[in-house]
Amino acid sequence: MTAPTLAQLLPAARSGDTVAMEQLLRLTRPDIRRYALRHCAATTATDDVVQEALIIVYRRVGALREVAAFGGWVVRIVQRLCMRPMLAWLKAEPLAQVEDNLAWSHRPDHELRHDLALAIDSLPPIYRDALLMRDFEELTIEEMAGRLGTTREAAKSRLHRARALVREYLVPSAPAAR
């Protein structure tokens, strides 16, 4: 007997069939893990993102309108979960406080990415380069310093200033860096 497909499992899981839901989660888990490995930074705990994504799928699969939208929906869940640490880092508060206090943290991903891109683009080049090297290219401080042609301490200082300026741009009430 062949294993049920996603197209067979999804309608049954949406209607409350617990066996179908278990099979759906088991079938979806490897894809969620692959998405998390691709979309999350190296510092994000991939297993935590996978677990939270499975919980969200379990709780909200009934609200999914189209079976064909399932894959994209799961990818967006993973992307949002991967963004949470960045939002917490920008605010420098615990994650729960970020979600409760920042109205913009509940905006769609494309709006957040746009605002973040504008914030990064507004940085002076020496700070923008430091931020991109560390947080997007995931270089070490030593690697950054080498590429910037500066000392380790200067690279750390530029990174700190860049993050503070981005935080100030995104959260106008955030204290300015000195």
pLDDT per residue as tens, the chain (178 positions)? 577 888 888 888 888 889 999 999 999 999 999 888 887 765 557 888 899 999 989 988 888 777 888 888 888 888 888 877 665 555 554 444 444 445 545 566 667 777 888 888 888 989 988 988 887 777 788 988 998 999 999 999 999 999 888 888 877 654 554 4
Q: Which helix (H) or strand (E) holds 63?
A: none
Which CATH number characterizes residue 124's domain? 1.10.10.10
Task: Count the neighbouring beta carbons within 10 Å of the beta carbon of residue 123.
Answer: 20
Tokens of 88: 């917490």
Verify that 81 and 28 share a domain, yes or no: yes
What's the total number of domains in the chain? Answer: 2
Domain contains 178: no
Verify that 116 and 83 share a domain, yes or no: no
Alpha-carbon separation of residue 35 from 4, 70, 78, 147 (angstroms): 22, 14, 7, 30
Verify that 35 and 85 share a domain, yes or no: yes
Domain contains 30: yes
Long-range contacts formed by 87-90: CB under 8 A, 24+ apart: 87/112, 89/163, 90/163, 90/166, 90/167, 90/170, 90/171
Domain contains 101: no
Tokens of 171: 């959260």
Verify that 160 and 117 share a domain, yes or no: yes
Give the closest residue to 69 by CA, choosing from 13, 7, 22, 9.
7
Domain contains 155: yes
Verify that 84 and 148 share a domain, yes or no: no
Domain contains 1: no
Verify that 73 and 121 share a domain, yes or no: no
Verify that 114 and 83 share a domain, yes or no: no
Verify that 16 and 81 share a domain, yes or no: yes
Reduced to 3 DSSP states, what percent helix, strand and coil does the chain have, rounded to the nearest 5? Answer: 75, 0, 25
Verify that 29 and 75 share a domain, yes or no: yes
Verify that 35 and 83 share a domain, yes or no: yes
Range of the domain at 142: 107-170
